[in-house]
Amino acid sequence: MAKLSEYSAKRRFEATPEPAPQVPAEGSGPLLFVVQQHAASRLHYDFRLECDGILKSWAVPKGPSLNPDDKRLAVHVEDHPYDYASFEGVIPPRQYGAGEVIVWDCGVYSPDEGGTVFNDRDEAMRRVRAGLAAGKLSIQLRGEKLKGSFALVRTKDEKTWLLIKHRDRFVSAADITMREASVLSGVAVRDLRRAPVHRLAAGQLAPRGTTSAMPTRLAPMLAESADEPFEHEDWLWEPKLDGYRVLAFIDDAGVRLRSRGGLELAPAFPRLVAELRQQAERGMILDGEIVAFDATGRPSFATLQNRAQLKSDRDIAAADRTSPTLFFAFDLLYFEGVDLRSRLYRDRRRYLVQCLLPTPLVQLVHAQEDGVALHAAAMASGFEGVMGKRKDCPYVAGKRSPAWLKVKPTRSAEFVIGGYTQGRGSRSALGALLLGYWKQGALHYVSHVGSGFDTRSLKAVQARLAPLVTRRCPFPEKPEVNAPVTWVKPELVAEVTFQRWTEDDSLRSPIFHRLRDDIDAASVRRPKDPGTKAPSSRTTPASVRSRRARPDAAGGEQSELLAQLDSTRNNVVLHVGEHRIKLTHLDRVYWPADAATRQAALTKRDLLRYFVHVADCILPHLADRPLTLIRMPDGIEGTRFFQKHWTQAKPDFADTVTVFSEHKDEDHEYLVCNNLATLLWLAQSGALEFHVWHSRSTRGADTRVTSTDFSSSLEALEASVLNFPDYVVFDIDPYIYSGKEAKGAEPELNTVAFEKGKEIAFRLRELLEEMRLEPIVKTSGKTGLHVFVPIRRTLDFDAARQVSELVSRHLLRRYPKDITMEWAVNKRTGKIFMDHNMNVRGKTLNVAWSPRGVPGAPVSMPISWEDLVRAHPLDFTLTSVVKGLIYREDRWRNALTRKADMEKILKQAKK
């Protein structure tokens, strides 16, 4: 820890989110490098190398360069703790290094003078220490942006170094710093204050773990079939390549290319072997596909198959010149001593991007979240389809898993050929193939296939079948066919496409596609039938659906409403049960596209779709509560206004409650949203935000008050159930500014403020739990948080306000530097304002699940205390909620029902 004394002396860890020094866990595997972009008083890049449990650090004002002619100044600064490597966040004003920090690049490195030693950590650190002491260190970087050999060279000044790119195939004149986004969050440093960023453990940044010998044999992980692609944040999608699935084993003994069936393919692809040899020296396993392209530039299995059958070195060399084959890598299973199969796919994908050194013939497969868009592009480019992979799945070798999905235009599967029938005319030699799969040691017949052949494929199949002819039928029972049959040994595999499985376990409309030399006939089993329609961009995978809050609006009604909203018309009449709502300007943009959060533009139609999806969640929180709306009929950039009382015409299905106004000695009518039709009607009216009273207009078992006279007089209102709240609320309102607000404006949503608000929320929770109270929390949808203590309706608003004030003042006494209860806005700056006056009759807060009229389309979201630790307001948006990434509403609603007897608590507090 003595090495980090300078780092500690410069920072106040109670004020900065930067990690305090800790003894790191013993590491093994390659050493880590990281480059952090830091928007302090001046934008610069911090270049850091792991060594001896800490990060040796240099500030590089202009950032790294891939041009050897650029000698970039690198100023040696204090050592940083290992945990700092994954730090992304905002260092608050008046703290050392105040400003935004992102992880601009990261990966593994090794000293490379005399050869790399990625797999020998101790030797690597010995060389690093020696190089730094001598004033010259040559290293190979494997990151997402920085690859190849670099040198750190010390000048005459002890702290002044130069960072220089060595000449290798990764040299480029392009400005690499133009790639601005974080390799972890995808956020540019200028957008960090508004965008959600979740801290990753430093040990997850690059391959790291207990070293072990490289496996010599593995079977690849396999996918299940699905009907349609979809878009979901828990999934990534890749184009499905029409080639040979191969595991590439690379070590000091050479390169081995193993097919799905265990065949060794390396002799057929010597140029690929030569380029794969450059990927590692002492151990690497890549999962990928060997692909060949036809004359039009599209992937062609036939071209690849012809290429693989070449035997002579001369023919292979000629084919490599005219139609080279490529290896596309899509998974990394082992790297320099570290077995990665148990790591999640999201981590393995990051390690693959880092560790792969692309060459003309060895490339990285593209991946993205939007499976629908990728599927359309893949089809247009001549690919087979797409592959979907759950980000949180390990690599399950040799098994078919629902965590991997393959989507093709039609279903396809591989079957064993057990014989063929005699045909007619020009097809007399071969009419149809008899197909089956192995089941309990026997070849189970499924169908015959006679379509899909052309002259070339027909001759090729006949030639392959001729040596396998036998008198013995390989099926337990002879299939019933209408032509003479020639039986063959079940050693060849055919891939066929088909419409579906029939009830008698046969194939409907099969079409021959190709022979599969890369698949062992003995391994062929019945493929799983995807059955129901696969998730689309507007549905959620079953494995994700289990995480949803509750059922949405009743299944049938929801589907009908969504179908109506899918109309391409801009104006429609929406049928909600027996009610009719005229919808207009459905394509009007309510939330413009927001680059900082990568949120696409959202329209009125999207708002209505959102409310259909979450109706069962939001309506219980709206029910029976007087409603104040914030309407923005032209979207968040147009005019906005509060609507507290409703004087216009309204539909019959919209409920109201009349409340006496103590200020004007008259009564006013409030809307109450008690049904889905009202919710959708209000959305049509441009209501983007829904704010509710803290009390309900209906009687209940939790109150002794029974009066529902809210309008005859002030006395009647005060004696009614509407004067008794359901909960005490603590409004945590950060007055910590981003620095970009207009003069006099409220603080905008920013990460520093929200993190400080979370800290105070957890301290409030501790205090309330000391009082034996169980608080619950939701995001405001902006920078604040709302903490609730559900109570029996035996305290009126005055008493609830008193409880909130007593607790808040007690918290203020504990943390006076962080909290304020001052009413003067200029005295709140830099602190968290605890507003106990929200506990007043008629005051409102945005209801749970309500959208907010700010960029990014955030939603006020009920959340667990466990999830709050890593939460950001923009984790919960109209888009992410509809995708299914939402908190379990049933848990939050159950928490609301656990009501405390505040009368007793208040008496204790007064004492």
Q: What is the pLDDT of residues 203-222, one digit of tens each?
A: 999 999 888 999 999 999 99
- Our answer to whether residue 240 is catalytic in this structure is yes
Query: Which of the listed ranges 47-56, 401-410, 493-502, 554-563 does the model predict with the highest average pLDDT?
Result: 47-56
Tell whether the model's pLDDT for residue 762 goes beyond 70.
Answer: yes
Q: How far apart are CA 356 and CA 387, in angstroms?
A: 20
Asked whether the beta carbons of 624 and 607 are under 8 A apart, the reply is: no
Q: What distance in Å separates the CA atoms of residue 506 and residue 761, rounded to the nearest whole number?
A: 61
The H or E element spanning position 302 is helix 301-308
> How many angstroms separate the Cα of 798 from the Cα of each of 724, 764, 808, 910?
9, 21, 15, 14
pLDDT at res. 309: 84
More confident of the two residues 279 and 568: 279
Q: In the chain, what percentage of residues exceed pLDDT 70?
A: 95
CA distance 126 to 137: 12
Higher pLDDT, 902 or 464: 464
Q: How confident is the model at residue 887 (pLDDT cuts 50, 70, 90)?
A: low
Listed residue (691, 899, 692) closest to 795, CA to CA: 899
Confidence of residue 409 (pLDDT cuts 50, 70, 90): confident
* CB distance 672 to 625 below 8 Å: yes
When pLDDT is cut at 50, 70 and 90, the band that residue 33 belongs to is very high
Strands 160-165 vs 71-81: parallel, antiparallel or unpaired: antiparallel
Instruction: Tell me the helices (H) and strands (E) count for the chain, helix number first.
Output: 19, 44
Q: Which residues pair with 293 in a beta bridge?
A: 299
**200 vs 870: CA distance, rounded Å:** 10
Given a cut of 90, is residue 378 above it in pLDDT? no
Q: What are the start-end ranges of the E strands in 40-179? A: 43-51, 54-60, 71-81, 89-91, 99-111, 136-143, 147-154, 160-165
* % of residues, the chain, pLDDT over 90: 64
Q: Which two tokens stand for residue 743?
A: 């003069």
Q: Specify the residue for token string 């929801």.
A: 558
Note the pLDDT of residue 882: 78
Distance of CA 427 to the CA centre of its chain: 53
Domain residue limits, the chain: 2-204, 222-407, 411-523, 547-906
Q: Find which of 265-269, 295-299, 451-455 is predicted with most confidence, using mean pLDDT.
A: 265-269
pLDDT of 886 strictly over 90: no
Kindly report the backbone phi and psi dihedral angles of residue 814, in degrees, each rounded to the nearest multiple of 5, phi listed first: -75, -35
CATH architecture of 411-523: Beta Barrel (2.40)
Conformational region of residue 254, where left means phi above 0, alpha means psi within -120 to 50, and beta covers everything else: left
Residues 6+ apart with CB under 8 A from 136: 151, 152, 153, 154
* Mean pLDDT of the residues in the chain: 89
Reported as a pLDDT band with limits 50, 70 and 90, residue 736 is: confident
Q: Any idea which fold 222-407 has?
A: D-amino Acid Aminotransferase; Chain A, domain 1 (3.30.470)
Residue type, 408: K
For the chain, report the end-to-end CA distance as a whole number of angstroms: 48
DSSP state of 191: G
Residue 284, strand partner residues: 250, 335
Q: Looking at the chain, how many residues does it have?
A: 911
Of 776, 748, 323, 791, residue with least CA distance to 315: 323
- Which residue type, as a one-letter code, is found at position 392? D
Tokens 């999640």 sit on residue = 344
Give mean pLDDT, residues 585-614.
Answer: 92
**Strands 99-111 and 31-39: what pairing?**
antiparallel
Distance of CA 567 to the CA centre of its chain: 29
Give CA separation, 884 vs 375, 552, 875, in Å.
21, 11, 12
pLDDT of 543 > 60? The answer is: no
* Six-digit token string for 262: 């265990």
Of 195 and 69, more confident? 69
Closest to 787 in 3D by CA, of 730, 843, 844: 730
- Per-residue pLDDT, 862: 94
Spatial distance between the Cα atoms of 687 and 643, rounded to a whole number of angstroms: 9
Give the residue from 307, 310, 275 showing the smallest Cα distance to 293.
307
pLDDT of residue 721: 94
d(CA 663, CA 183) in angstroms, rounded, equals 56
The model's confidence at residue 535, banded by pLDDT at 50, 70 and 90, is very low
Going by pLDDT thresholds of 50, 70 and 90, the confidence category of residue 865 is very high
Whether 636 and 590 have beta carbons less than 8 Å apart is answered as yes
Mean pLDDT computed over 518-522: 89
Q: Give the H or E element holding residue 733.
A: strand 727-734
Residue 274, SS3 per DSSP? helix
pLDDT given at position 210: 86
Contact yes or no for 36/343 (Cβ under 8 A): no
Give the separation between CA 429 and CA 423, rounded to whole angstroms. 6
CA distance 691 to 194: 23
Per the DSSP assignment, residues forming a β-bridge with 75 are: 59, 160
Q: Where are the beta strands (DSSP E) in 517-646?
A: 572-576, 579-583, 589-591, 602-603, 627-631, 641-643
Question: From CA 115, how far away is CA 100, in angstroms rounded?
Answer: 37
**β-pair type (655-661, 666-672):** antiparallel
Cα distance between residue 697 and residue 671, in whole Å: 12
Confidence (pLDDT) at 567: 82
**Residues contacting residue 823 through CB under 8 Å, at least 6 positions apart:** none
Interatomic CA distance for residues 490 and 229, integer angstroms: 34
Kind and range of the H or E element at 349? helix 345-355
pLDDT at 191 over 90: no
Structure confidence by residue, pLDDT tens digits, 795-825: 999 999 999 999 999 999 999 999 999 988 8
Question: What pLDDT score does 556 carry?
Answer: 60
Does 307 score more than 90 pLDDT?
Answer: no
Catalytic residue among 56, 145, 165, 240: 240
pLDDT at 415: 96
The SS3 call for residue 754 is helix
Query: pLDDT: is 380 or 590 the higher one?
Result: 590
Contact between 46 and 35 (Cβ < 8 Å): yes
Name 260's Cβ contacts closer than 8 Å, sequence gap at least 6: 219, 220, 245, 518, 519, 520, 523
Tell me the β-bridge partners of 659. 668
* Torsion region of 96: left, alpha or beta (phi above 0 gives left; psi -120 to 50 gives alpha): beta
* DSSP 8-state symbol, 502: -
Bridge partners of 657, per DSSP, are 670
Helices 555-565 and 604-622: crossing angle, nearest 10°?
150
Give phi and psi for 800, each to the nearest 5. Answer: -65, -40
Residue found by looking up tokens 């057990």 in the block: 418
C-alpha pair distances (Å), 512 with each of 310, 386, 431, 453, 598: 24, 21, 12, 7, 44
The C-alpha atoms of residue 243 and residue 307 are separated, in whole angstroms, by 11
Does residue 903 have a pLDDT over 90?
no
Distance CA 891, CA 888 (A): 6
Pairing between strand 235-240 and 99-111?
A: unpaired
> 745 near 792, Cβ under 8 Å?
no
Mean pLDDT of 260-269: 91
| CATH 3.40.1410.10 given to domain 547-906 | no
Q: Strands 832-835, 819-820: parallel, antiparallel or unpaired by DSSP?
A: parallel
CB of 734 closer than 8 Å to CB of 725 = no
Question: How does residue 1 score in pLDDT terms, banded at 50, 70 and 90?
Answer: low
- Token readout for 398 is 């040799």
Task: Show the tokens assigned to 283.
Answer: 């151990």
pLDDT of residue 461 exceeding 90: yes
* 263 has a pLDDT exceeding 60: yes
Cα–Cα dist 344/390, whole Å: 9
